[in-house]
Amino acid sequence: MVSSAHFAAFAALVFLMVVVPGPSVLFTISRALTVGRRDALLTVVGNAAGVYTQVVAVAFGLGVLVQGSATVFTVIKLAGAGYLVYLGVQAVRHRHKLTDAFAAAVRTTPGRTRTVLRDGFVVGFANPKSIVFLAAVLPQFVDQAAGRVPVQIMILGLCLPVIAVLSDSVWALVAGAARTWFARSPKRLELIGGTGGLVMIGLGAGLALAGRKD
């Protein structure tokens, strides 16, 4: 259904897009520094799931709607921006608790895991830039003559979450290792917690102020 040539070409394009550090990478690093390696990796998985949900939405017409409606684009953009700012504010507010949390180690509970995955999912799905990218690029790699276009889009779109998980996980592990060094000093850990929160607030503000390029 999807030719190997089309799949390879789209995978190469996605790889180039993902490996260049962008908002998702900065978000992952911020999470690794503020809440630790485990939660950062869960955030990566949640973010990838959110992005693939975009792929499914694009396959069934949401991408065209976002491209054609400034209102829909703005609503999605502001929702994602607001959530990033909220997470950043929470990180700054609780930066003084990072030392105790690190010393006690974060306990893995179903509720916490779901919360972290949810945070990553919301940020991934509410990124309007990736929706527009997918809507503009994915159809170009579809074989219209082969039919079943939505299925082709979903198959091609698998490249994005897979490559994103692999790339972003590396960033999460590196940032998590750096957090271990910062944890040797309570003041350093508080500093990096506050900095990570400010980065997330900055990402949210930047996303809110970004306009459409059309």
- The tally of domains found in the chain comes to 1
Distances (CA, A) of 66 to 164, 187, 212: 23, 44, 11
Return per-residue pLDDT of the chain as tens, 214 residues: 677 887 888 888 788 777 766 667 777 877 887 778 888 899 999 999 998 998 898 888 765 565 556 676 677 667 767 766 776 777 677 666 555 544 444 444 445 788 889 888 988 887 766 776 677 677 777 776 777 778 888 898 899 899 989 988 998 898 888 777 766 666 665 666 677 677 767 767 776 776 554 4
Asked if residue 148 belongs to a domain, the reply is yes
pTM: 0.66
Asked if residue 188 belongs to a domain, the reply is yes
Q: Which domain holds residue 103?
A: 22-208
Asked if residue 39 belongs to a domain, the reply is yes
Contact between residue 162 and residue 50 where contact means Cβ atoms under 8 Å apart: no
Asked if residue 6 belongs to a domain, the reply is no
Asked if residue 16 belongs to a domain, the reply is no
Q: Which amino acid is at 20?
A: V
